[in-house]
Amino acid sequence: MKIDFFLLFLFLGFGFSYAQNAEPLDAVIESKEDLIAASKSFEAGNAKSPMQYYVGIMTNLTLIDEFLNSFETLDEENAAIYRFNENIVECLSLIQHTKDAIKLYNSNDWSLQNTLRSNSLDWLNAAEGLMNDYMSKLAEPMSRKADTWNKKEVAFHDKYLEAYDAFLEIDDVWIIFQHEFADANDFNIEGEISIGEDGLLEETEGLDPIEQKNEYKDQAAKFARGEASNGEAYYEGVLAAVLLIDAEFANIYILDDRDAGTDEIMGSINSGLAKIDSARMSLALYTDKTWAKRKKFHKLTLTWLAGIEGLYKDYLIQLAEPLSRADATWSDTERDFYKSFEDAFDKYLKIDSKWIGFQYKFAKANGFSLSGVVDIDQWNDEVTPAEEEE
């Protein structure tokens, strides 16, 4: 039975990768100009497929999100009030344009379109509320140094932070559901968008797959020795541990594809379980750290580890022998059990999506940014069993 694993581990929420085409909604997004072109095409009613519809909404939300993030920079600079107000006006305008654009497609009947529309409008309304209810009133205080704020201004800013946390919960729902919409409409989300300070989408320089995997092994080893000294180093250690587990899990697909023997499949399963135990022990070294949002990130990572461990223990161990045989030899009982595994895997992907989405928040809270993707499929393609043992 050939397993269709989600082989590309996404470590940012918004993203896609498509072939180049004259239509901006089909183009590979490589710059802010590409984002704007796709947004304008969507607002002109040019989305003719569910994938283009998704891309149009996603590009507009990404552009709005850039405005939301800009206020933090303006605050740090104690920028003039007019700069806050300009961004507020432009942000609200883009929010309204996005709402108007979504209405253009109400007569379409794509799978799960109503839910994506509802989630998107919830997101837009929440962002609009942040602008109208809070940021418009905070522009003047945020243009001044923090030590000049009175108690009333500080208290109001605290309320804004609470409202922003509520917005991030809505953002989580959108990020997780995008994968369901893509699955229901037979397209893939395979990449990421990260707008840097220069306005261009940041890209990760590609390393040789073996070098990249070894780099993450070194990072995980440092993490296991308790060497993470700040939030960013902690994140890098957690990410390395998670990616190595994810790659080991994906290796089952390759072993199944070539009908590897039961012993070899069990070897990969045991290796994955050992990596999970190691990740838990590494996380335990940092439970006393007070980095922003560490406790929640710790909890989400433990949930992720438990989810993938359950797939190993509850399903893959029992499937190791059938996976070593040709599909035609499977019994009805084995096929039914494999279907149960697929259902469990779908549930795990929701946990995976939540973990992916939270990275933005953890990074922002700890003063660093994320960009790039890691294609763990290439790790398994490039690394032979003999090289792995070395």
The verdict on 382 and 264 lying in the same domain is yes
pLDDT of residue 381: 54
Contact predicate 107/169, CB 8 Å: no
Nearest C-alpha neighbor of 103 from the set 178, 171, 34, 53: 53
- Residue 7 pLDDT class (50, 70, 90 cuts): very low
The verdict on 132 and 76 lying in the same domain is yes
pLDDT in tens, 360-371: 788 888 988 765
- Residue 6 pLDDT class (50, 70, 90 cuts): very low
Contact predicate 239/283, CB 8 Å: no
Contact predicate 102/56, CB 8 Å: no
3-state secondary structure of 390: coil
pLDDT of residue 376: 64
Longest dimension (CA), the chain: 75
3-state secondary structure of 145: coil
Q: How many domains does the chain have?
A: 2
Mean per-residue pLDDT, 138-153: 89
The verdict on 170 and 263 lying in the same domain is no
Mean per-residue pLDDT, 140-163: 91
The verdict on 354 and 221 lying in the same domain is yes
Q: Is the residue at 198 inside a domain?
A: no
pLDDT in tens, 214-252: 888 999 999 999 999 999 999 999 999 999 998 899 888
The verdict on 141 and 241 lying in the same domain is no
In angstroms, the CA 236 to CA 242 distance is: 10
pLDDT in tens, 51-95: 999 999 999 999 998 888 888 888 888 888 878 888 888 899 899
pLDDT in tens, 256-304: 888 899 999 999 999 999 999 999 999 999 999 999 999 999 999 999 9
pLDDT in tens, 22-35: 567 776 676 777 88
The verdict on 180 and 266 lying in the same domain is no
pLDDT of residue 10: 32
Mean pLDDT over each residue of the chain, to the nearest integer? 83
The verdict on 30 and 79 lying in the same domain is yes
> Which amino acid type is present at position 294?
R
In angstroms, the CA 60 to CA 332 distance is: 47
Spatial neighbors of 6 by CB under 8 A, at least 6 apart, are: 349, 352
Long-range contacts at 223-230 (CB < 8 A, ≥ 24 apart) = 223/282, 224/278, 224/281, 224/282, 224/285, 226/285, 226/286, 228/286, 230/291, 230/366
**Which residues form the domain of 132?**
24-184
Token digits of residue 143: 């243009």
Mean per-residue pLDDT, 41-55: 92
Q: Is the pLDDT of residue 350 over 60?
A: yes
Contact predicate 68/91, CB 8 Å: yes
In angstroms, the CA 318 to CA 330 distance is: 13
The verdict on 176 and 229 lying in the same domain is no
Question: What pTM does this model have?
Answer: 0.53
Q: Is the residue at 16 inside a domain?
A: no
